[in-house]
Amino acid sequence: MRVLVGGWSLLTGLGLSRFGRLRFEPAEEARFIQDGKAARQTHFLISGVFSLVAFNLFLLSDWMMVPDRFDLALRLRLLVYTPVAVFFLAVSWRFRDFALQLPAAVTEWVAMLGGIFAALCLVAVLMVTDSPYAVMYRGGLLPILVFGTLVMRFRFQLAVVFCISLVALHLLTVFASQGAPTPFPELEVPMFLLLVVVAFYTLAMNFRTEAEERLRFQRKERSAALRRELQASQARLETLSRQDALTGVPNRRRFDEVAWQCWQRHMQTGEQLAVMLLDVDHFKAFNDHHGHPAGDQCLKLVAKALQDTLADGDGTLARWGGEEFIVLLPHTDEVVAHRVADRLVQSVRAMQLRHEASPTREVVTISAGVALGRPSMDGRDLSAMVALADRALYQAKHEGRDRLVMDRTPKPA
**CB-based burial of residue 283 (10 Å sphere; 0-12 exposed, 13-18 middle, 19+ buried)?**
buried
Name the least confident of 18-27, 108-117, 283-292, 303-312: 18-27
Residue 158 has pLDDT above 70, yes or no: yes
Q: What is the mean pLDDT of residues 254-274?
A: 90
323 a catalytic residue: yes
Catalytic position from the list 212, 213, 323, 334: 323
The answer to whether 289 touches 359, Cβ cutoff 8 Å, is: no
Residue 213 has pLDDT above 80, yes or no: yes
In residues, how long is the chain?
A: 413
In percent, the amount of the chain with pLDDT more than 70 equals 92
Whole-structure pTM over 0.85, yes or no? no
Residue 10 has pLDDT above 60, yes or no: no
Q: How confident is the model at residue 382 (pLDDT cuts 50, 70, 90)?
A: confident
Q: What are the pLDDT digits (tens) for 347-376? A: 999 999 999 999 988 999 999 999 998 886
Q: Each residue of 352-389: b (16+ CB within 10 Å) or e?
A: ebebeebeeeebbbbbbbbbbbbbeeeebebebbbbbb
pLDDT at residue 175, as a whole number: 87
Q: Each residue of 216-243: b (16+ CB within 10 Å) or e?
A: ebbeeeeeeeeeeeeeeeeeeeeeeebb
CA distance 292 to 245: 16
- Homologous superfamily (CATH) of 252-406 is Reverse transcriptase/Diguanylate cyclase domain (3.30.70.270)
How far lies 2's CA from each of 220, 287, 380, in Å?
26, 73, 79
Residue 361: which region, alpha, beta or left (left: phi > 0; alpha: psi -120 to 50)? Answer: beta
CA distance 362 to 367: 15
pLDDT at residue 24, as a whole number: 87
CA distance 349 to 346: 5
Long-range contacts of 70-75 (CB under 8 A, 24+ apart): 72/124, 72/125, 72/128, 73/121, 73/125
Residue 183 has pLDDT above 60, yes or no: yes
pLDDT at residue 375, as a whole number: 85
Residue 258 has pLDDT above 50, yes or no: yes
pLDDT at residue 379, as a whole number: 66
pLDDT at residue 2, as a whole number: 53
Q: How confident is the model at residue 204 (pLDDT cuts 50, 70, 90)?
A: very high
Q: Which residue has the higher pLDDT, 60 or 185?
A: 60
Region(s) of the chain under CATH 3.30.70.270: 252-406
Q: How confident is the model at residue 43 (pLDDT cuts 50, 70, 90)?
A: very high
| Backbone phi and psi for residue 279, each to the nearest 5 degrees, phi listed first | -135, 135
Tell me the pLDDT of the chain averaged across its residues: 89
Q: What are the pLDDT digits (tens) for 85-103? A: 999 999 999 998 888 888 9
Residue 3 has pLDDT above 50, yes or no: no
pLDDT at residue 9, as a whole number: 54
Q: What is the mean pLDDT of residues 304-313?
A: 85
Which of 179, 188, 178, 56 has the alpha carbon at shortest distance from 122? 56
